[in-house]
Structure 1
Amino acid sequence: MSAALVTVERDGAVAVVTMNRPEAMNALSTALRAELARVMLELDGDDSVRAVVLTGAGTRAFTAGLDLKELGVEGLGAANAESAAANPVKAIEQCRKPVVGAINGVAITGGFEVALACDVLIGSENARFADTHARVGIMPGWGLSQKLSRMIGISRAKELSFTGNFLDAETACRWGLMNRVVPAAELVATAKALAAEMAGIDPAMIQSYKALIDEGYGASFGEGMAIEHRTSSARNAQVKGGEVEERRKAVMERGRTQAG
């Protein structure tokens, strides 16, 4: 019996999703893309899951991107599917729960785009990123051309996209692509701990906040400010003073614990 292409491990309110084709550097075959999309949509609808960690099996690759051998036979049409049911990047983006990417190895081209769909990236020292779209002769269709420049600056994004060169973990962290770099043996545990902290916030609140940030990110600054004003006016009008005071005390207590 063949191993599952995508595995899911539950740890309380955190689900760890692993792309599981290590022998092929977790390349995104049609079957893996469909399974990853299915899993992400399923977790989005599971109220017992409050946060997700996404990683790749092994230490060589998060995912090496689209399976180019397969695409050479089938063409690119299916890879650009608009439906979240067939497009794992769209399924990750539409997940209302926080998604922490644990980048355990290379994230190349389509794999780079899968990484960029996550909300937060933590990497091991093995993490490396490369955009080889231009060298392969295809255009990105999962958002890399627009997201990367907004994250690390347009000139750095152009350097990566126009050369296809690899970006190492420390530089990726310094450029703001990843939040931190940790030893490989600690990567998943670190990502799970971060996801568990996110899972400790009221689900409705964190889902609304994620939607607010994402919607504003895709708009101009002025439009984003207007979106925030509309959202905060509607939600904050429903908040009761007593509830805020209780939560404020809990926040202060948590702060004292962290300071210690």
Structure 2
Amino acid sequence: MFNRVEEIADGQLIVSQGEGVALLELNRPDSFNALSVSLLDALVAALSTLSEDPTVSAIVLTGRGKAFSVGVDLKELASGNGLMESGELGPGGSVMRAFNGCQKPIIGAVNGFAVTGGFEIALACDFLYAAESARFADTHARVGLIPGWGLSQKLPRLVGINRAREISFTGNYFGAADAEAWGLVNRVCSDNDLLAEALDTAHQIATALPEALFAIKAMMNEGWEDTLGHALVMEGERSNAYNSSIDVSGMAERLSTLKARARK
């Protein structure tokens, strides 16, 4: 499946590519994939590179070991690593710019703990699959921090404001079944099947026409942050410009392929 595997930041991030798909694996299992500065830098660089790579149409992000990520490396943070420097958090910081600016759909495959900053990284993905053993929590208030990668705004929009308040005010853990019932994750998979199912979906995405796929992702993500009226105007402007300039000669063949796929 993958014809290229690369270890970045002394192996803290493993990037595998092949057949139109890239797999990013956070690889600090002994620290439950705590987000060191070097790991975050590697993740930012990988997302930026993959966004421009014409051989990649979809990305899967997961963690190795028993966690997706438990968030920022607090030991490193206490040593003054610069992560909390002014401007590094929020949509203008390097981490969120890398996620928000990535043209390619990103599937988060949550394989274990997704806690606080790790929960925020999961929410930065376009959608989530979760293993049966996955556990989520927002412990910002318990450790004395506040979210800076979008959790306080994205979580209420996904699960409802009252449930989001309970999650963030208490810091309590909840499981994959609740996450699916609340609309936070799209699918719960067995632990053994999580990665295979996420990669299978990524390969399905990779069969779409890249230009249309990336345009739709951009419209959805930008529209989600705007009012419905403004977002509909934006969609109309972009669809008029895009659809009036496409070559329709290949549509019949693509439609035939889709019908054959549906019959299967």
Runs of 5+ unmatched residues, structure 2: 1-8
Alignment partner of 1:127 is 2:138:
no
Q: Which segment is superposed worse, 171-180 or 68-77?
A: 68-77
Alignment partner of 1:246 is 2:259:
no
By how many angstroms is 1:35 displaced?
1.0
Structure 1 counterpart of 2:242, from 231, 235, 259: 235
Paired AA for residue 79 in structure 2? V
Equivalences for residues 5-24 of structure 1 within 5 A: 5-24=12-31
Q: How many residues align?
A: 255
By how many angstroms is 1:93 displaced?
2.3
Are the counterparts in 2 of residues 89 and 113 from structure 1 also a CA contact under 8 Å?
A: no
- In structure 2, the residue matched to 1:54 is 61
- Structure 1 residues 218-250: Cα deviation after superposition (integer angstroms, max 9, x where no partner): 101111111111111111212355433333222
Structure 1 counterpart of 2:47, from 34, 40, 47: 40
SS in 2 for 1:185: coil
Alignment partner of 1:118 is 2:154:
no
Aligned-partner Cα distance in 2 for 1:17–1:79: 28
Structure 2 counterpart of 1:212, from 195, 215, 219: 219
Could you tell me the percent identity over the aligned residues? 43
- In structure 2, the residue matched to 1:66 is 72
Question: Higher helix fraction: Structure 1 or Structure 2?
Answer: 1
Aligned-partner Cα distance in 1 for 2:188–2:94: 28
SS in 2 for 1:121: strand
Structure 2 counterpart of 1:92, from 93, 99, 106: 99
- Structure 1 residues 116-138: Cα deviation after superposition (integer angstroms, max 9, x where no partner): 11112011111111111111121
- In structure 2, the residue matched to 1:156 is 163
Aligned-partner Cα distance in 2 for 1:91–1:119: 13
Aligned-partner Cα distance in 2 for 1:230–1:49: 27
Are the counterparts in 1 of residues 37 and 83 from structure 2 also a CA contact under 8 Å?
A: no
Go from structure 1 to structure 2 and tell me whether the alpha carbon gap of 1:4 and 1:84 turns closer, same or farther (over 3 Å shift): farther
- Structure 1 residues 126-159: Cα deviation after superposition (integer angstroms, max 9, x where no partner): 1111111111121111111111111111111111
- Give me the TM-score of the superposition, normalised by structure 2: 0.91
SS in 2 for 1:225: helix
Paired AA for residue 210 in structure 1? K
Aligned-partner Cα distance in 2 for 1:226–1:196: 32
Runs of 4 or more above 6 Å deviation: 83-86
By how many angstroms is 1:83 displaced?
9.6
Are the counterparts in 2 of residues 14 and 52 from structure 1 also a CA contact under 8 Å?
A: yes
- Give me the TM-score of the superposition, normalised by structure 1: 0.92
Paired AA for residue 151 in structure 1? L
Are the counterparts in 2 of residues 37 and 84 from structure 1 also a CA contact under 8 Å?
A: no
- In structure 2, the residue matched to 1:137 is 144
